[in-house]
Structure 1
């Protein structure tokens, strides 16, 4: 068939060559100097049409209307064949992308044919509907009416098509990228050059074959979208106002013009829409979050613009089609209120379900490694990787515990869940910054805005490790130990804790937190956190402040690159700058094969455990339970009358003890609201239940003999000498407690607790007489004598003026201290 003259004229005006089968195909479709991609192909003059008066009769108008529709039907048939010709090589190119010598990669195939199948389907539906309407016979003897087309209704067909016109927005936004891929691959690959320069289309009744370049075919949708508006304008002029189609065609023309206006604006500034006070709408951030509503969780793609939040559902590409986004909800930023809660408790059923997912992921990961080392081929590895990707998606949906609540002034609220506290803070920080700017929102064209998501998005896929083609050899597999020492730079005293997060596979919990410090400007933790990792490369550090009302605010955050070569040499001490706050920590990495995830969290009891074993397990010299109880007592109990002498409720003491045995963070949180006598009771109970007393039994007799020394100075020298021979955890914990008790006695005018009273309370718990076996440890001692020795020894130590200071933590052997800035 002959080439459409109008199309040829349009293409030639833009230097787009179109040749018949017998003509040579030119090498460059768009010469560089013409730069057609940098200029919007949809010109403003095509949007506004002069309303010229119609001088013909109604009958002539309807005759012209039918002729116009028949001409449109033919043009649609030609256009569909051109789209089919454009799509012809897509399937073969997609298949070759999975081979060892692809013509185009999967990403390049997607870029070249982006939205083309959907546009073809849309026009195929319109063409079929229009063809059926034009073929319908007239009612009864209304042949003349059928000829004039008075009963012919087509407005609904145009409206149906224009409701999907957002597909063209995606195509136009991707056009430059598609042409760039075609040019690049044409120049670099002879196979693709042969294909791209000889695209064939059979048109017309005589099936004349027309040769196009691939770039010429890619231009067809750009030209076609403007013609829809022109056809609608002409069709409306040939439709009488009393015709049943008039209102529908008017609405269709309005939609078409509105779409072209938006395309022209985006072509000048693809991400921007002018808001009401000269600020442009821009995409600031996007990413995957979990949208929680009515007890259900759904993975969503969230887009943060200058003036609004847009939540969308990503529809993955299937059967050659491209990714699409479906609108879920949006909230204007003006007046938006945020509230976040860290570490929500999961139900036992949810934890069990997550453990099952993690166990399956671990097995699939092992299968992938076996495939990589064996000879089962690529298909088995691809199946395992696909299953692993599905498991990761499930975990990504059901594991997040950090909640971000959004409350709009209109009364609408949404809850987002994130697995990373660091990421939650990034979202919250940026949203609050934009909200404070008080951006006035312009109601968005949701169809256009959602359709543009594929083009605008910065984040292509959910953060899945299973999608990595090649594992990074620099990633860590084993145990990462982080000792959080202290922080400084707080603007006001706060209960603070530090959260550390690692990336990598989701086989294990990817974050750990210190307990909440005592209210201070310089929090001190000296707490070791251990994380099992597989594929970790980055450590994130977040410092969080808590108030008495349990409100939380992030004081600062930073990320640290994990370097296996440095961390395997031993502890690496560094100061991490999180804005104004500085956190000092030590890092160590122990590489080893990872074990399957555990079904239940490991229990780390602290009561009834030898103090040297407990201190070694915690990596400290003074156990955390001792330090936390002492700090809490000194924070709010120093004026308590009878402190340490008055007993707390036994059931509350037992409950707090159980918390310390199961989870230090939860215990400290519970301790904040417990009666101070309960806290002091837990501290006394800890020392009383030590399997061996804090002062070793073999030193009891030596200390008893020192009491016979009349010279007080000589007695104290002798007692300090005995203390020096104690194991370090025993000695430093004893000294730490003695200094605390002396501070308590400094306020004896209020709390009525003198040094003697305190020695009487603690003496029997700290020292015990040895068990006599075969007379090896000297003569036995009756209970009254033992009590006197216990009290007098502790009382003498409390009176010592040069009592050594206690070390609370072990020194970490490190090289020169490093500093990591935000």
Structure 2
């Protein structure tokens, strides 16, 4: 056995596979801004189309260039395959007792490479399919534009390159097993020949992406030289070359100055982040390009220059980071007229996109296709400006304030985290004079890392990896908390904004291992990724006009991204797929299921079915659970902050507050959960009691009333409980599990604190007995014999009291099972 095989055997013995299969499930992470390594590229201008040859000769040369590009892409993909070959094995061994590399080291070495492989594989497939038609007039511009629009991924790789090389060098010297893998890699040739290569070094595997990003720009120049001006591809290729040239210019600028710009008196500022964000000034929303420097946030307006001229940015406003305070809220309430206009816009976009999908080859005319694609982009920009609901308020010590809006909570947290790190770190305060701000604004063209807003309308309609249908996510549990906490999970999906793209679980009970077992569903159209964020609700005592009140806010625990377009949609549509996501220090276990189906045009928001005064089986079926959310949410809120409340459940809250919360539960569960967190805890307990009291059929079925009453005659407590539990097992699943869930809450948590809250088991039975258990008809037995009302109450209380005294109550199942035979895997982010 050679040394390479010995290294692979070691990894396999630690349950790691070194092959390339399944790489799409491992390590996908967003790029972060770091120091960029320098790239050498010549100054590129838009080439003039040669006029010395005929159109036919140019097109023949163009085909030759395209075939050369295809061959080059094939070679590059084989190089990336060789580079990725050891990644999954190293990642798997990182979780063993004797890792070859740590998880962080694997992350650093292979940063962004899986994403680059996916982008070039898509480009290669599209290019190969079109070249197979042997049409000299074939159009390729959209493929190159799509490729260039993902050059930002190379930015992340370039910034990380020096760190990756350093890790490889150190580990090669320190670890013989890694040295064997790093120095014995193979590139598979088209003729099945294998070429030996190494992981690190100039012109070796890790250097290949650096070399490729420069070649992309040069290739575009060659292709444009052989494309006639009147060809339909010419404008698209010009734009692709401009974007590529701008990207290289920004990389070179950053490599020379670490994304810094020189100001007056020799001072320098460094750009940390930039992107497109909605700015709300004086009630008017505008999409602006923001630049976050080491000591200030700059808002600019982009001015597109004419042909042959450089784009420019205009100054809008700035805020110094020193002392800057941020606060975000979910502003879901929009004026009715705005809601109607957005719905109309979404409907028009949906119908227009359907028309474009049904006309993929431009059969209705290329002019019609181009015009409507442009129209779709404009409508998406309009939607991107006016639909965001996550508001970030910025307040500076100088009383200057601005409000930003984000479509994604994940994106908002990215910006807020970047600002927070700068405001809490050691900032180099440069001062903001008018001259400096003008210098900064004019330098934005060269420093920018983001070229244009991310639009889904720019994604090729024929891309089969986009998910269209229903994505269901069952959030099960989490582990890894350092201390007990209440945690909830927020899930977002991308795609067109036709439907609701975000949902969250209820807040868990305070625990080291939060448990939810809650299913979230999304209608998706063009989804590629899913964002998972974990939050901990926090409360701060505020004093306003001498009145003390709790102000709630959400503290982010961590976040990650799961690439949906890299999952096997076929297996997802067959059964639930169970996964464990590494979300920072937390491991979140969830299940995924995808149901592809045609989508209907977005309509008015569907009215949520009522919850109160509805049979509990119907509510549970609507929610896909065994214990309704209203019960779990109220119980968990009481457990979070009501255990030491004297007379909890005995002392009710204000009737108007209880009725108000009831109305919200009947219309908007998400809003109800939010209000629970700030409501008086006695109001929360009152809502729970009201829910059980207003059930059309009591929680314990009425036909069990007399049988349970007869068990009270059994003197031996153990025998009595056995009989009662046996009767309970005959009740419907939802009623039984909800009853057991409530009993565990009252017995194991509320009554455990009876020294403080004064709620003994008998007190609790007295409160809940009449709500949970009722005879078939008021005052009547099954056979029509009247029953004394006073005796009825005694029976209700004694039955519930007996259940509360049991030490062997079965555990309650809160949610339906999500397929125990599903595939189990851990996805590291």
TM bucket normalised to smaller: 0.5 to 0.7
- Structure-2 separation of matches of 1:818 and 1:408: 46
- Match of residue 392 from structure 1: 380
Specify whether residues 442 and 180 from structure 1 end up closer, same or farther in structure 2 by C-alpha distance, changes over 3 A only.
farther
Specify whether residues 278 and 800 from structure 1 end up closer, same or farther in structure 2 by C-alpha distance, changes over 3 A only.
farther
What is the 5 A alignment of 1:679-694?
Answer: 679-694=684-699
Q: Deviations over 1:660-709 (max 9, x none)?
A: 22233332332333333322221111111112211122222322332333
Mapped pair 1:414 → 2:391: no
Q: CA deviation at 1:516?
A: 3.3
Mapped pair 1:525 → 2:516: yes
What is the 5 A alignment of 1:130-279?
Answer: 191=226, 269=257, 271-273=259-261
- Match of residue 460 from structure 1: 451
Contact kept? 1:558, 1:821, Cα under 8 Å = no
Mapped pair 1:770 → 2:776: yes
Q: How many residues align?
A: 611
Match of 2:302 among 301, 305, 314: 314
Higher mean C-alpha deviation, range 704-713 or range 555-564? 704-713
Match of 1:788 among 794, 797, 804: 794
**Where does the alignment leave 5 or more consecutive residues of structure 2 unmatched?**
1-39, 63-135, 149-211, 231-241, 243-251, 540-550
- Match of residue 9 from structure 1: none
Q: CA deviation at 1:602?
A: 3.1
- Match of residue 826 from structure 2: 819
- Match of residue 755 from structure 1: 761
- Match of residue 526 from structure 2: 535
- Structure-1 separation of matches of 2:723 and 2:698: 20
Contact kept? 1:496, 1:543, Cα under 8 Å = yes
Q: Deviations over 1:602-658 (max 9, x none)?
A: 314221222222223223222222222223333333444443333332222111111
- Match of residue 807 from structure 2: 801
Specify whether residues 351 and 514 from structure 1 end up closer, same or farther in structure 2 by C-alpha distance, changes over 3 A only.
farther
What is the 5 A alignment of 1:276-675?
Answer: 281-316=269-304, 323-343=311-331, 345-372=333-360, 375-435=363-423, 436-441=425-430, 445-447=436-438, 449-548=440-539, 549-562=551-564, 563=567, 564-675=569-680
| 1:273 counterpart SS class | strand
- Structure-1 separation of matches of 2:658 and 2:375: 48
- Structure-2 separation of matches of 1:659 and 1:597: 24
- Structure-2 separation of matches of 1:181 and 1:463: 21
Higher mean C-alpha deviation, range 775-784 or range 554-563? 775-784
- Structure-2 separation of matches of 1:781 and 1:486: 47
Contact kept? 2:609, 2:666, Cα under 8 Å = yes
Specify whether residues 786 and 382 from structure 1 end up closer, same or farther in structure 2 by C-alpha distance, changes over 3 A only.
same
- Structure-2 separation of matches of 1:681 and 1:691: 18
- Structure-2 separation of matches of 1:378 and 1:40: 33
Mapped pair 1:732 → 2:720: no
Structure with bigger gyration radius: 1
- Structure-1 separation of matches of 2:141 and 2:513: 58
Q: Deviations over 1:424-464 (max 9, x none)?
A: 11122223323413123275655554344334433222111
Q: CA deviation at 1:746?
A: 4.1
Q: Deviations over 1:469-514 (max 9, x none)?
A: 4442011111111222333333455443221111111101211122
- Structure-1 separation of matches of 2:560 and 2:217: 42
Q: Deviations over 1:362-398 (max 9, x none)?
A: 2212222233388423333333322221221111001
Q: Deviations over 1:227-250 (max 9, x none)?
A: xxxxxxxxxxxxxxxxxxxxxxxx
Q: Deviations over 1:103-134 (max 9, x none)?
A: 989989xx9xxxxxxxxxxxxxxxxxxxxxxx
- Match of residue 155 from structure 2: none
Q: CA deviation at 1:317?
A: 5.5
Match of 1:709 among 702, 714, 721: 714
Specify whether residues 375 and 781 from structure 1 end up closer, same or farther in structure 2 by C-alpha distance, changes over 3 A only.
farther
Q: CA deviation at 1:409?
A: 4.8
Q: CA deviation at 1:741?
A: 2.6
| 1:368 counterpart SS class | helix
Contact kept? 1:629, 1:680, Cα under 8 Å = yes
| 2:699 counterpart SS class | coil
Question: Over the residues paired in the alignment, what is the CA RMSD in angstroms?
Answer: 4.4
- Structure-2 separation of matches of 1:194 and 1:622: 66
Specify whether residues 269 and 705 from structure 1 end up closer, same or farther in structure 2 by C-alpha distance, changes over 3 A only.
closer
Q: CA deviation at 1:282?
A: 4.1
| 1:483 counterpart SS class | strand
| 2:610 counterpart SS class | coil
* TM-score under structure 1 length normalisation: 0.66
| 1:796 counterpart SS class | helix
Contact kept? 1:334, 1:441, Cα under 8 Å = no
- Structure-2 separation of matches of 1:385 and 1:464: 11
Higher mean C-alpha deviation, range 511-520 or range 612-621? 511-520
**Where does the alignment leave 5 or more consecutive residues of structure 1 unmatched?**
1-36, 42-82, 112-176, 196-217, 219-263
- Structure-2 separation of matches of 1:466 and 1:418: 19
Specify whether residues 524 and 279 from structure 1 end up closer, same or farther in structure 2 by C-alpha distance, changes over 3 A only.
farther
- Match of residue 8 from structure 2: none
| 1:585 counterpart SS class | strand
Contact kept? 1:546, 1:552, Cα under 8 Å = yes
| 1:439 counterpart SS class | coil
- Structure-1 separation of matches of 2:571 and 2:637: 38
- Match of residue 94 from structure 2: none
Specify whether residues 688 and 104 from structure 1 end up closer, same or farther in structure 2 by C-alpha distance, changes over 3 A only.
closer
| 1:817 counterpart SS class | strand
Specify whether residues 787 and 188 from structure 1 end up closer, same or farther in structure 2 by C-alpha distance, changes over 3 A only.
closer
Q: Deviations over 1:567-586 (max 9, x none)?
A: 21222222222212332222
Contact kept? 1:40, 1:268, Cα under 8 Å = no
* TM-score under structure 2 length normalisation: 0.65
Specify whether residues 762 and 404 from structure 1 end up closer, same or farther in structure 2 by C-alpha distance, changes over 3 A only.
closer
Contact kept? 1:276, 1:442, Cα under 8 Å = no
